[in-house]
Structure 1
Amino acid sequence: MTWLKGRVGAAYYNIATSELFVMDDVIEDDFSYCITRTLYRQCQPRYVITSSGSPEAFTNVLKKLIVKDTADTSMSSGSGLDRASHVALKILSKTSNTFEDCVHRVNLLNLTSEPQGMTSTERITFLNSVLNYNSKLMLHALGMLLKYIDTNWGKLALDPNGEAVYLYVNYVRLKDLVMIEEETYKELNIMQTKYHPSLFKFGASVKHEGMNLFTLLNRCQSRIGVKYLWRLMQQPTRDVTVLQDRFRVTEFFLNPDNRNLFESLRSSLKNLVRLTPALLNRYATPLAKPHDWKKLSAALSSVIHIGELCDSCRGSAMIFSRVADSITRHMHQSRYFIDYIVDYEMSKHQGKFAVRAGVDTELDELNDMRKSLPDMLAKYVMKDMPALPDSVDTAKLIYLPDIGFLLGITGWVGEPPEEVEIEGMEFKCSIGGIRHYKSDTARELDECVGDILCKITHRQSVILMKLIDFLSEDIVSITKAIECCAELDALMSLSTVARDHNYTQPKIVKSHVIDIKDGRHPLRELFSQYVANDTQSGESSSLIKIFSGPNACGKTAYMKQIALIVYMAHIGCYVSASSARIGVITNILTQIPLMESSCYNASSFLIDLRQINNILYSSTPNSLIIMDEFGRGTAEIDGLALLASVLNNFIKRKNYCPHVFVATHMHRIGSILPPDPIFELQMFDYVFSEENTLVFLYKVISGCVEKSFAHEVARSMGLEDDVLNEAVEIFESMRRGEMPPTKPQEDGRTMMRRIANVSKDEENTEAGKLKDLIKNTMTREL
């Protein structure tokens, strides 16, 4: 396993079945490490491998998991021969397992299921279709795993003369989590995972990534609420109990009778800040500003107030009970002591931590002494006046750091004498024409008063450290309470969006069904009038839907709409439909064309193949699969054969077939597939206007179109008539099996125009180029 900057990647090997499992990079919660814990529970490892470059916190989590597993198994079985008692953590050297070395080992991976006789280049191409090379942490983890197996195979399998066999690569499906790849998050426009939630302002979209589902749902009032919503959307769940509790929160806040409570909670949530041990230590340093203490007090007050409000409705949803129960007596005391001790006005005036009067007797005495010090010094200076020579007119007592109190002669009768020494006094220095002496009175002040400011600062520091120590005693409870409030903030954000956009509560069932009435695309409807459509899959309806229709008629938007509604239901959010009954989904798998990018080191067709390969390997009966124009990146006959083969694979699964939605322009697909009620052909309705222009109705109906109307769509987009007319003629000729007709006159005019354009610039015209054009024109076969 590898962890870096809030993301985790993993791979494991099953010796008994010779299977490799990999998990693409996913966002990991560095507060609870739920992905790491779930993965550990699922694979039940004998060895746990990580790099010495992993963060200490991540390594400690792995150690705690192993220790806890050992303790639990020992208590249940008492056997010394069980798996858990032998789990070992192997921390490999990061210098011997760099990312480059690990990727090199992955590129040498030999799978039993791979085609025979491949070259090194062909193997890398094949692995690109099996593995997601964009998941850097997964590749690093897989490389470390393979290298460790290479070195220790004899000890692992008790077969010193053999070597590991790898049948194929499977993708990990974590229990209770709806697995979604990062590419799918981007394709469905759920969120751009490269952006951290700290970039997002509370309750509003930002310019960094534009409108997506995350920015739509983000109405959080606090920064930690935004981060919790981010994690919640990264971890859609199949736990029906969790989802039902989230739905109850939205249902509660949509009730008009609870509107005042909703507004009170929103107001308090704005003051939330996360209190961690590292942040608490900052308060003990000069980096802490006076307003930091005020923010801390406001945060604790808000958490306590939120807890009191939630206590009044604890029976409505589990989150209310968790928030109310997270408030401890110590938190009340912490809030009281901060307000009792910290003098906010004085702290702001002095620019540092200041203690209120009446908190500490010793500090009060020091402050009183400091305030009365000018009068005291005026009285004490009179004691020294009789001992001064008659030439001294005026004097005063002052304090200099590291030297103490000194008597300064500020005025003379006439000119000051050249002799600086005065009997009974010690001359110290002369500053600005004022001579300073250490007198008996100054020595007395040094003993009874001393450095008053230093004493005050020291005493305030002692009080500050006691306050921080007191807060630290309950830091875990405070952190948990704030985390519960952050969850409440995220769920209230979902309820706000549900009210504003007229969303409805979906019914989550443990059946093989998706039944959506009047479904709408949650993002598209924000910018234009959107036509609602129904969706039925499973139970009495077909599981495979094959959509056809004119270009740009809404096929892709409709399929994304289905995926988004299902996804929203699995994060506990109301959905954009009049009603929805959705069976629990294990994963959402997509094959949607991506923009070609050098970072993928593959063509668009190869990327499509990798996505389809992942779909075939990872899909379960409860998967939701979206396929958009698969096969478009190769010859039509090859693409049609591949598409038919993939769909036939699903058809053969019968009752174990997942929910499959396919958009294609290969209209012969229906005639190639074997007749079976498990699949259904559907199309997007359209009409031709009186002007013979194509009009999209954006309504799904049964049937299949005969053509894609590419020419009509091109005409609506403003393509030149000459080009369009020629395209239609070529199309009609090819449909009749004839060669496109030639047009000698038009070809000649075209060549003459090219010659004229070249010869316009007489100075820069190349004679050879002009000669070649004329020669081609004269010898052109018409």
Structure 2
Amino acid sequence: MMNKCVTPMGKRLLRTWFLRPILDLDNLNSRLNVISFFVSSEELLTSLRDTLKSVKDVPHILKKFNSPSSVCTCGDWTAFLKSLSALLHINKIFELGISENLQEQANYFSVNIVEKAASCISMDLAYVYELVIGVVDVNRSKDKGYETTVKDGFCDELDELRQIYEELPEFLEEVSSLELARLPYMSRDKLLPQVIYINQIGYLMCIFEEKLDERILEELQDYEFAFSDEDGDVKRFYYRNAKTRELDSLLGDIYHKILDMERAITRDLVSHILKFSMHLLKGINFAAELDCFLSLALVARQNNYVRPILTAEAVLDIRNGRHVLQEMTVDTFIPNDTKIIDHGNVHIITGPNYSGKSIYIKQVALIVFLAHIGSFVPADAAKVGLTDRIFCAMGSKLMTAEQSTFMIDLHQVGMMLRHATSRSLCLLDEFGKGTLTEDGIGLLGGTIDHFISMYAPPKVLICTHLTQIFVDSHLSQSDKVKYYTMSVLRPDNSNEALEEIVFLYRLVPGHTLLSYGLHCALLAGVPQEVIKRAAFILDATTKGIHIDRACDEKITAQDQQYKNAVEKMVAFDAINGDLSLFFQDMCAGQP
């Protein structure tokens, strides 16, 4: 979604940016300045992206040029020339397409993109372009029907060979007509013999349908059978004779002579091009970086992202933050604020299932992450302190993982507790739920107390349903902890009318002891009878009432049958009773 680059190099570079977020404030602000400039100039953004679409994978082409075993095709030369032309056009856009208004904006954002384009896309690239088009004709191969790239008129000897090769079919047709006079009469119903040329094999007389018999070969003593082949229903028999041997001696393997000569010319051309490889790579690297900036600017324009304010302070202040992906999957996304300034670094978030807690903490992490690659972020405003690490214990598990989800959570939390600094961001989602409730409460409470006890704790966002830590005072009192919940609209406090509960997805101060799991089950399509039974058990457990076994008519009848059988067994006289009658009585009425 974020990678809208149009060049292969840009896609690779932007992926590298995502894999390696940075903490260099000057570098990040420089990236943000360039993106701000392009966000404010849609026409320039569109023009540059359209031009960049013609820039192909030049580093790969140069590597191919530099490989002794590789052969440069017309496609390679076409891609190379298009790329050079596009780079030169980009330079022209920056030279001539920047209006006074855009120049003022560039100065305002301290963007030196015009000067950088001029220094990276030098006139050496224009020289290379002229050098290539002076030797290579990328359309010649298509026009002539065989692999040939060197322009007409560049080499007289090559032009002479190519003329002979291109006129060869007509010449061989004349030779074939002369050779037919030596052969005995051939039926007009059959294909007439002809002299042909096969690359790397040479010139041969081709006889169709059937092989020459011994009687004819005695008359044609210079004929020597070479080989045969079959193409569908057509059989071909190839012979060498005096004329084909003469052609081999006179013309030789003319096609490969042409190829060898063209390859020698292109190798010489490539050796000249490679002298400018540093200039080429400098221009291509600029194009890749430009492509990344344009991609991030386009995403920012399309999704209403804003420029974050990056600071060296350990703060996080987000107004109306949104989730990068989630907002694209729903009709209306409810944004939320995040404010971690000075005190209150540990935020404990409670609330119902399905109310947006996990989405909220993930969106905070994504906003922080995007800010550290120099991107705009999905929010109305954001002030992000430099963050050295983002730790996550989200309960996720790879299919190939050899550990349980709970053990993975423990490893992640352990690493978090050992390495988190005041500049870190820590996310814990339902930590402690994978074991006994008592153990989970203890682990979660101990983790929170550890963060509280730190002199300069990291920024911590915790989602939990283990609300007993509030009731039983498991947590130390501290102004470093703030409590939030996801608001819910409910007309009354009864356990009935689950349909009337509305999740507002809005983060508000406070905490809740209810999870509204039955309402979530209803939303998920769990059968009504299951939800009714769950509501009954929940109510009985809350009030300390004995819970009767769930039953229906079928189960009740079966229980009565078992009860009758047990009573008969107890009443049976095992010493004097008749076992046969007993079993008949027991099985009476059974199918």
Give the TM-score normalised by the residue count of structure 1.
Answer: 0.59
1:350 paired residue among 134, 145, 170: 145
CA distance in 2, matches of 1:559, 1:777: 64
**Partner residue of 2:132 out of 326, 335, 338:** 338
Matching of residues 353-752 of structure 1 within 5 Å: 353-367=148-162, 437=242, 453-528=255-330, 529-539=332-342, 541-595=343-397, 597=399, 599-654=400-455, 656-670=456-470, 671-689=473-491, 693-736=500-543, 738=544, 740-742=546-548, 747=551, 749=553, 751-752=555-556
Indicate how the Cα distance of structure 1 residues 452 and 525 shifts in structure 2: closer, same or farther if over 3 A, else same: closer
Q: Distance in 1 between matches of 2:312 and 2:83?
A: 41
Distance 1:719 1:434 in 2: 82
Distance in 2 (alpha carbons) for counterparts of 1:674 and 1:327:
62
SS at match of 1:665: coil
* 1:323–1:235 distance in 2 versus 1, CA, 3 Å: farther
- Which has the greater radius of gyration? 2
Contact persistence 1:342–1:353 (CA under 8 A): no
Are 1:730 and 1:740, in contact at CA under 8 Å, matched by a contact in 2?
Answer: no
Contact 1:520 1:532 in 2 (8 A): yes
Q: For 1:455 and 1:520, locate their aligned partners in 2 and report how far apart those are by CA, in whole Å.
A: 66
Give the 3 Å change call, closer, same or farther, for CA 428–740 of structure 1 in structure 2. same
8 Å contact 1:429–1:437 — kept in the other structure? no
2: CA distance between counterparts of 1:374 and 1:281? 36
Local SS of the residue matching 2:407: helix
Distance 1:376 1:322 in 2: 59
Query: What is the CA distance between 1:711 and its match in structure 2?
Result: 2.8
SS of corresponding position for 1:218: coil
Which residue of the other structure, out of 44, 47, 72, is the alignment partner of 1:264? 47
Contact 1:405 1:446 in 2 (8 A): no
Q: Write the deviation string for residues 485-531 of structure 1: whole angstroms up to 9, x where unpaired.
A: 12221221111111011111000011111001111112111121111
Aligned to 2:576: none
Please report how far the alpha carbon of residue 667 of structure 1 lies from its aligned counterpart in structure 2 after TM superposition: 2.0
Match of 2:2 in 1: 217
Gaps of 5+ in 2: 99-105, 183-193, 206-215, 227-236, 571-591
Q: Deviation of residue 573 (structure 1)?
A: 1.1
Q: CA distance change for structure 1 residues 699 and 377 in 2, over 3 Å: closer, same or farther?
A: closer
Q: Following the alignment from structure 1 to structure 2, what is the Cα–Cα distance between the partners of residues 651 and 548?
A: 18
The 2-side partners of 1:352 and 1:251 are apart by 48
Counting matched residue pairs gives: 518
Secondary structure in 2 matching 1:217: coil
- 2:575 matched to which residue of 1? none
Secondary structure (helix, strand or coil) at the match of 1:616 reads helix
Secondary structure of the residue aligned to 2:134 is: helix
Does 2:18 match 1:245?
no
Deviation track 1:585-629 (CA, whole Å, cap 9, x = no partner) reads 0011011112474x3222222111111001111211000111111
Q: CA deviation at 1:714?
A: 2.8
Inter-CA distance 606–379: structure 2 relative to 1 (3 Å threshold): closer
Secondary structure of the 1:707 match is: coil
Aligned position for 1:296: 80
Residue 39 (structure 2) aligns with? 254
The question of whether the paired residues in 1 share the 8 Å contact of 2:200 and 2:256 is answered with: no
* 2:426 alignment partner, SS class: strand
- Note closer, same or farther for the CA distance 1:435–1:373 as it changes in structure 2 (3 Å cut): closer
Is the CA contact (8 Å cut-off) linking 1:217 and 1:493 kept in structure 2? Answer: yes
Deviation string for 1:760-782 (max 9, x for gaps)?
A: xxxxxxxxxx9799659999xxx
Aligned to 1:227: 12
Asked if the contact 2:318–2:379 (Cα under 8 Å) also holds between the matched residues in 1, the reply is yes
The one-letter amino acid of 1:271's match is S
Is the 2:199–2:255 contact (alpha carbons within 8 Å) kept by the matching residues of 1?
A: no
The farther-off stretch of 237-246 and 722-731 is 722-731
2: distance between equivalents of 1:710 and 1:359? Answer: 81
Deviation at 1:351, TM superposition (A): 3.3
Q: Give 3-state SS (helix, strand or coil) of 1:344's partner.
A: coil
| Residues 387-414 of structure 1 deviation map (CA, whole Å, 9 limit, x = unaligned) | x99xxxxxx999899999999xxxxxxx
Deviation at 1:484, TM superposition (A): 2.6
Cα 1:475–1:434, aligned 2, differ >3 Å: closer, same or farther?
closer
Q: Which amino acid aligns with 1:360?
A: C
Residue identity matched to 1:585: T
2-side partners of 1:588 and 1:557: how far apart? 16
Residue 579 of structure 1 aligns with an amino acid whose one-letter code is A
Deviation at 1:327, TM superposition (A): 2.5
Alpha-carbon separation, structure 1, partners of 2:272 and 2:120: 18
Q: Which amino acid aligns with 2:157?
A: E
SS in 1 for 2:304: coil
Letter matched to residue 557 of structure 1? I
1:572 partner SS:
coil
8 Å CA contact retained: 1:563, 1:588: yes
Give the 3 Å change call, closer, same or farther, for CA 429–606 of structure 1 in structure 2: closer
Per the alignment, do residues 549 and 495 of structure 1 end up closer, same or farther by CA in structure 2, a change over 3 Å counting? same
Amino acid at match of 1:666: L
Q: 1:80 corresponds to which residue?
A: none
- Distance change in 2, residues 1:371/1:579 (3 Å): closer
Letter in 1 for 2:484: Q
Amino acid aligned to 1:694: I
User: How far 1:677 sits from its partner (Å)?
Assistant: 1.2
Aligned partner letter, 1:630? F
Structure 1's 243 and 754: CA in aligned 2 closer, same or farther, altered over 3 A?
farther
Distance, in Å, in 2 between the alignment partners of 1:488 and 1:666 is 49
Structure 1 residue 347: Cα displacement: 1.4
CA distance in 1, matches of 2:567, 2:406: 38
Between the two proteins, what is the percent identity of the paired residues?
Answer: 28
Return closer, same or farther for 1:740/1:458 CA change in 2, 3 Å cut-off: same
Alpha-carbon distance in structure 2 between the residues aligned to 1:403 and 1:542: 84
TM-superposed CA distance for 1:366, in Å, is: 4.1
CA change 1:724–1:419 in 2 (3 A) is closer
- Higher relative contact order at CA 8 Å, sep ≥6: structure 1 or structure 2? 2
Amino acid at match of 1:663: C
CA distance in 2, matches of 1:341, 1:673: 79
> TM-score, normalized by length of structure 2?
0.76
**Using a 3 Å threshold, how does the CA distance of structure 1 residues 706 and 259 change in structure 2: closer, same or farther?**
closer
* CA distance in structure 2 between the partners assigned to 1:469 and 1:450 by the alignment: 29
Name which of structure 1's ranges 528-537 and 465-474 shifts more when overlaid on structure 2.
Answer: 465-474
* Pairwise CA distance, 1:686: 1.3
**Which SS does the other structure have where 1:354 is aligned?**
coil
Helix, strand or coil at the partner of 1:357 = coil
Structure 1 residue 567: Cα displacement: 0.9
Q: Which residue of 2 aligns with 1:73?
A: none
Structure 1 partner of 2:93: 309
